[in-house]
Chains A and B, each alone.
Chain A
């Protein structure tokens, strides 16, 4: 990456770190926290879908698993909240490894339906296992996180925690993309057979991608549980899975930073524009459809060629010919 770009990115993140000092009230900080949590989950999807080409449409299930496990461990079993978060992340990752088993054989629509079914099963279980999850009434009274003896209660404290985790996750994912693993995943995405012939362990790589994705989503979910203190099955529906997926697509699939930017922006947007609240998923889906269907790349190419053509003619205006 060019140094100027690196500098610009560093400045953006520095500004983001200072943002809570300028934001008018706590509500905005809270929305940013939600955006950071979503962005964390989107990083997982960038690894899974963008790099590995495996579609997961039940991604909110990992978020739900992380959130509910952490809540249940800290409330019902009385674990310290940090340990409960780790348990939630661990359970989500284990289920991520399980979900990679169908991906060994299946691809395309078959795999994506598999993930939809997984997401629905998790959602139905959170509604129906009333004794554990309190079902449709929602799980409340989740204690706030205590990290190294310090209680993280205020919105601002959460902001800094999520911000630093996000920066760490971005660096890790960017590193992953340039490592052997990232290149192997790209090879699998382009051609699975060829990748296998080149000596890539396709199954191990797929499992790794799923575990990374589930880890990110589970972490985001577990933190979200302690941040909001209240969980309801209503907020973990298939629509949420799709909105995570559309954040990934809007961010350019492969780009970690793009995914993070789209994750934060598409969480802020419906909050800032209240009239969109009801219909934002409709608008997201339309945006995704347009991004996929419009030949953006060739349009860019044509625009570039046109600009180059203009520059070659030395700024001659097209109607200059008429005066001759």
Chain B
């Protein structure tokens, strides 16, 4: 293996890692805001992929029109999830196990509902970014979708950062996350803020789904794959740490791509799961201890 191939693999790995980082970010947002683990995150990714498929292939819509519509639909799906499930659980003052069971059931329900609507056959969408590799450096060819995915994901993350840091609504969301009672006393409508965080998180996951159509087949299994990988990214970066989730996702993408080319692509997922089990058993707090969490 020469340097050029290595760089190509690295860039490909980072772009796939960005796709894992987005739903991972969604999971950590919800974990911080509502204290529940969104088991159905992978299903959100899958449903947005299928929505893109329906719009691009079924309705022949342009990519730039389909993307915002998908994100909007998924935003409202996230809000609906909060209004039905999380709100009910909170009103009952339910135990964490109950919350977990209901999210597991939701994820299975969404997966089978998607099967009901779109069937089991794998779908593909035409690569919206073109299939002609670009020669970035001499002898280093990079697919345009890798750069586009990376760019759009970074844009989304930067947008979220601006929203959470410098807008009033972002401050209100952060206050709700930190201490719900005090935030409510300060005049923040905490119920609405939690709904909003759910909507945002679902939208971020949906972006990953919409972009992943360019790289992966759209199948029902991708929900499990994305769910597990987003969770693994979170564990690698330290659970509930948004920046850690992003770094963990990028790292996972790189390790997986390199592992697939060095070892065997059959065992790609086994590498991920072994990494997950290793971190859960030996470093449950993730790569970085929680110092970084204070800064974001």
Q: Which of B104, B274, B280 contacts A110 (CB 8 A)?
A: B280
Q: What would be 16 A-B contacts, judged by CB atoms less than 8 Å apart?
A: A53-B97, A102-B277, A102-B281, A105-B284, A108-B100, A114-B280, A128-B266, A249-B101, A279-B115, A281-B112, A282-B109, A282-B113, A285-B105, A285-B109, A285-B112, A288-B105
Contact B108 A101 (CB under 8 A): no
Please, which residues of chain B bring their CB within 8 A of the CB of A238?
Answer: 224
Contact B88 A293 (CB under 8 A): yes
Q: Which of B37, B109, B267, B276 contacts A289 (CB 8 A)?
A: B109
Which stretch of A32-40, A115-123, A193-201 is in the interface? A115-123
Is A232 on the interface with B (CB-CB < 8 A)?
no
Count of chain A residues with a beta carbon within 8 Å of a chain B beta carbon: 38
Please, which residues of chain B bring their CB within 8 A of the CB of A53?
Answer: 97
In the complex, what distance in Å separates the CA atom of A57 from the CA atom of B104?
9
User: Nearest chain A CB to B43's CB is how many angstroms away?
Assistant: 11
Contact A124 B269 (CB under 8 A): yes
Contact A114 B277 (CB under 8 A): yes
In the complex, what distance in Å separates the CA atom of A279 from the CA atom of B92?
30
Is B262 on the interface with A (CB-CB < 8 A)?
no
In the complex, what distance in Å separates the CA atom of A285 from the CA atom of B239?
27
Contact B97 A55 (CB under 8 A): yes
In the complex, what distance in Å separates the CA atom of A317 from the CA atom of B283?
67
Is A239 on the interface with B (CB-CB < 8 A)?
yes
What string of 1s and 0s marks CB contacts (under 8 Å) between A264-300 and chain B?
0000000000000001011011101100110100000
Is A242 on the interface with B (CB-CB < 8 A)?
yes
Is B122 on the interface with A (CB-CB < 8 A)?
no
User: Nearest chain B CB to A119's CB is how many angstroms away?
Assistant: 10
Chain A contacts with B in 111-161, Cβ cutoff 8 A = 112-114, 116-118, 120-121, 124-125, 128
Is B226 on the interface with A (CB-CB < 8 A)?
no
Interface residues of B (CB under 8 A from A): 37, 39, 84-85, 88-89, 92, 96-98, 100-102, 104-106, 108-109, 112-113, 115-116, 224, 228, 231, 235, 239, 266-267, 269-270, 273-274, 276-277, 280-281, 284
Contact B224 A55 (CB under 8 A): no
> Is chain B's binding surface mostly helix, strand, loop or mixed?
helix
Given known contacts A57-B104, A282-B109, A293-B102, A108 and B97 CB-to-CB distance under 8 angstroms: yes
Please, which residues of chain A bring their CB within 8 A of the CB of B101?
Answer: 55, 249, 288, 292
Contact A113 B108 (CB under 8 A): no
In the complex, what distance in Å separates the CA atom of A162 from the CA atom of B244?
50
In the complex, what distance in Å separates the CA atom of A256 from the CA atom of B276?
33
Question: Which residue of chain A is the closest to B275 with respect to CB atoms?
Answer: A117
Contact B39 A109 (CB under 8 A): yes
Please, which residues of chain A bring their CB within 8 A of the CB of B116?
Answer: 279, 282
Please, which residues of chain A bring their CB within 8 A of the CB of B274?
Answer: 121
Q: Which of A106, A116, A282, A295 contacts B228 (CB 8 A)?
A: A116
> Is chain A's binding surface mostly helix, strand, loop or mixed?
helix
User: Nearest chain A CB to B206's CB is how many angstroms away?
Assistant: 21
Contact A108 B37 (CB under 8 A): yes
Contact A242 B269 (CB under 8 A): no
Contact B228 A128 (CB under 8 A): no
Question: Which residue of chain A is the closest to B269 with respect to CB atoms?
Answer: A124
Is A246 on the interface with B (CB-CB < 8 A)?
yes
Contact B105 A120 (CB under 8 A): no
| Among B89, B228, B280: residue with most chain A CB under 10 A | B280
Q: Which of B39, B92, B112 contacts A282 (CB 8 A)?
A: B112
Given known contacts A102-B281, A109-B39, A293 and B85 CB-to-CB distance under 8 angstroms: yes
Given known contacts A102-B277, A281-B108, A108 and B89 CB-to-CB distance under 8 angstroms: no
Contact A113 B281 (CB under 8 A): no
Please, which residues of chain A bring their CB within 8 A of the CB of B276?
Answer: 113-114, 117
Given known contacts A102-B277, A286-B109, A128 and B100 CB-to-CB distance under 8 angstroms: no
Question: Which residue of chain A is the closest to B268 with respect to CB atoms?
Answer: A124
In the complex, what distance in Å separates the CA atom of A296 from the CA atom of B39?
24
Can you name 11 extra interface pairs (CB under 8 A) apart from A113-B276, A117-B228, A279-B115? A55-B97, A108-B97, A109-B37, A114-B277, A121-B273, A124-B267, A282-B109, A285-B105, A286-B109, A293-B89, A295-B92
Question: Which residue of chain A is the closest to B94 with respect to CB atoms?
Answer: A292
Please, which residues of chain B bring their CB within 8 A of the CB of A106?
Answer: 280, 284
Please, which residues of chain B bring their CB within 8 A of the CB of A282?
Answer: 108-109, 112-113, 115-116
